[in-house]
Amino acid sequence: MKNFAIPIVVSLAIFVLFTVASRTKVQKDEKDNIILKYPTTIKLLGLGFLILGCWGTLFVTNTAIQKDDKDIILLVLTCSFFFVLLPLSLLLEFFYAKYLINDKSIHSDTPWTRKREIKWKDVTEIRYSKSLRLFVIRNNKTKPIRVGGMVAGVNALLSIIEQQVSSDIYTKLLDDLK
């Protein structure tokens, strides 16, 4: 019976974090731009994944030391990558990604790309990836802007998209969201 308790508790904790995150209020700056950032609950979830990853790496390392097998080092390095580096990359995204949206454009500033801007009048396509939980906004001039689906203010983003882009682009986006 104890084997079922941990997954249920973890699942409930993640559900509560996502529920609280979805109710986070939209922020605005002094120029009345809407600020899209990951809410604190998502950041805490990322920290939890990093802590679990560090624990997993220590567990695998301890196992390797006890077995005194040099071939298991590859396993330790692989596990370190998955258990620590992937959650660390999530944390970078959660803490440093920021998007500003207004009636004219969307600006992005993430750890992975330089600052980008796409004007709404230049948008050629907006898609939503359910598997990655990302909005991908494209034009013909710059590389796309990818907005995480867990940022606070997604509804505000959808509202501005509906107002500023053509109905064809918005209809395709709605199809992706179904």
Task: Assess if residue 13 is contained within a domain.
Answer: yes
Please tell me whether residues 91 and 109 are part of one structural domain. no
- The domain of 86 spans 2-25+38-96
In a domain, 170, yes or no: yes
Same domain (yes/no): 92, 105: no
- For the beta sheet containing 34-36, the strands, ordered from the edge strand earlier in sequence to the opposite edge, are 27-28, 34-36, 98-101, 105-109, 116-119
CATH number at residue 136: 2.30.29
Same domain, 123 and 148: yes
**Could you tell me how far CA 168 lies from the centroid of its own chain?**
26
80, 108: one domain: no
- 6 assigned to some structural domain: yes
Residue 159, C-beta contacts closer than 8 angstroms, at least 6 positions apart: none
Boundary-marking domain end, from 55, 71, 96? 96
pLDDT at residue 1 above 70? no
Instruction: Say if 32 falls within a structural domain.
Output: no
Last residue of a domain, one of 96, 114, 132: 96
- Whether 90 and 6 share a structural domain: yes
pLDDT in tens, 65-119: 777 666 777 777 777 777 888 889 989 999 999 999 999 999 999 999 889 999 9
Regarding whether 146 and 105 lie in a shared domain, the answer is yes
Band the pLDDT of 13: cuts 50, 70, 90.
Answer: confident
d(C-alpha 44, C-alpha 40), whole Å: 6
Based on the domain organization, do 170 and 114 belong to the same domain?
yes
| Domain final residue, candidates 54, 69, 96 | 96
Q: What is the DSSP letter of 25?
A: P
Assigned token pair, 120: 């709404």
Number of domains composing the chain:
2
- Whether residues 71 and 133 share a domain: the answer is no
Note whether residue 33 is domain-resident: no
State percent of the chain over pLDDT 70: 90
Do 141 and 117 have their domain in common?
Answer: yes
- Decide if 64 is inside a domain: yes
DSSP H helices in the chain: 2-22, 40-67, 73-80, 86-96, 154-164, 167-177
Return the ∠ at Cα 33 (arms to 97 and 46), rounded to 5°. 25
Domain assignment of residue 70, yes or no: yes
Cα 116 to Cα 101: distance, rounded to the nearest angstrom = 12
Confidence of residue 125 (pLDDT cuts 50, 70, 90): very high
Q: Taking a C-beta distance cutoff of 8 angstroms, is the pair 123, 168 a contact?
A: no
Q: How many other C-beta atoms can be found within 10 angstroms of the C-beta atom of residue 38?
A: 23
Sheet holding 145-148, edge to edge: 123-129, 134-139, 145-148
